[in-house]
Structure 1
């Protein structure tokens, strides 16, 4: 894991989102199967039509260790892009997470893998394998543009996309904001007078 990604792994998505003015967040319906899931990695993008997951298998085969497979499944919630068998293969090959604007199935089995999957929910029906789809192309996932190599960060609050060209600047600004938030928390939390002063200052500046 490179140093930039390891640093993003320790920054909440809410903090990163604030630095980017909330413009690079995926749709809030895309959530982790377990709240404790947290990941950061580079995007290996997948574009598929509704109901065809062969390109997902291709992405798993070509993924490098640490990659995040990000799938544009058009928000379809009827046919699952994968079940526990396919997700298990991705985990074994070193993929760090799967994010899909769509659904998965075999939810109990996938939870037992303890592997970060972020999706819109679960379904019963499987996808077909006609072979239509592309990998490593620009996509839209959860209403947000994702390019191959962008850094993707996910936690209990959702998923954010950090454009590759801006990753260093966004990382530095996110770390700075995190530090300020921590100082504010130590100063204000459980201190009645400090809380009143903080609220008064906020209200006066509006």
Structure 2
């Protein structure tokens, strides 16, 4: 099982805790559907507002399994993509798209059942001028993303795992998930739950 598949099975909250919450994208970047989950290496795209031609370049340069991460400076009036471009991302085998901006044709995108994380949806289309770059360091949702960094997202949001911290982050996240599962069993008993809460109160 690849490291991306392993991360996909872990709640993004556990991964966030592993990185002390320092690499979480802005909380307004959420999946169009709560059931969407992503995990994969970043293919980064830097765009100007109201110009999505380089988004298409990113689609063809990205490798199957990549997550296309788009920095458009939180601009939201014009959509970075609609259902056709997102459908193309699915056909090309990408793992998902994360946009620090908006999309349109949201109903059509949901029908593709392809994971899209963004700040929301809008009506206006973008122009195609062609200013921008692919596979450079970017800032998306307030977090620096380098090509190849691991992008994990679920209903709670998106977290970035730097390439050089992937192994240690996975190890910590697995331990955190196991601890959370063990703690959840306390809820089966009121006395055990009360005892656990009291211990936390004593420590504070």
> Please, what TM-score do these two structures have when normalized by structure 2?
0.98
Deviation at 1:99, TM superposition (A): 0.2
Task: Return the alpha-carbon distance in structure 2 between the equivalents of residues 115 and 168 of structure 1.
Answer: 27
Q: 1:194 is matched with which residue? A: 192
Q: CA deviation at 1:190?
A: 2.6
Q: Whole-Å Cα distance in 1 between the matches of residues 182 and 36 of structure 2?
A: 26
Shift of 1:178: 0.6
For residues 42-74 of structure 1, the C-alpha deviation after alignment (integer angstroms, 9 at most, x for no partner) is: 000000011111111001011111000000011
Residue 158, structure 1, aligned to residue 153, structure 2: no
Q: Could you say which residue in structure 2 is the equivalent of 1:11?
A: 10
5 Å-filtered alignment, 1:126-141, equals 126-141=125-140
**Aligned counterparts of 1:98 and 1:21: Cα–Cα separation in 2:** 24
Listed as ranges, the gaps of 5+ residues in structure 2 are none
Aligned residues: 204
1:140 and 1:85 map into 2 onto residues whose CA distance is 25
CA distance in 2, matches of 1:29, 1:190: 34
Q: 1:203 aligned to 195, 201, 204, which one? A: 201
Q: Which runs of 5+ in 1 are unaligned?
A: none
Note the 1:27-66 alignment, pairs <5 A: 27-66=26-65
Q: Structure 1 residue 117 and structure 2 residue 116: aligned?
A: yes
Distance in 1 (CA, whole Å) between partners of 2:96 and 2:157 is 13
Q: Deviations over 1:117-140 (max 9, x none)?
A: 000011111111111000100000
| In 1: Cα distance, 2:25 partner to 2:59 partner | 22
1-structure distance, mates of 2:182, 2:102: 39
* Matches of 1:178 and 1:11, distance apart in 2: 7
Counterpart in the other structure of 1:95: 94
TM-score by length of 1: 0.97
- The separation in 1 between residues aligned to 2:2 and 2:173, in whole angstroms, is 15
Post-superposition CA distance 1:115-170 (Å, at most 9, x none) = 00000011111111111000100000000110000000000000000000000000
Question: Counterpart of 2:198 in 1: which secondary structure?
Answer: helix
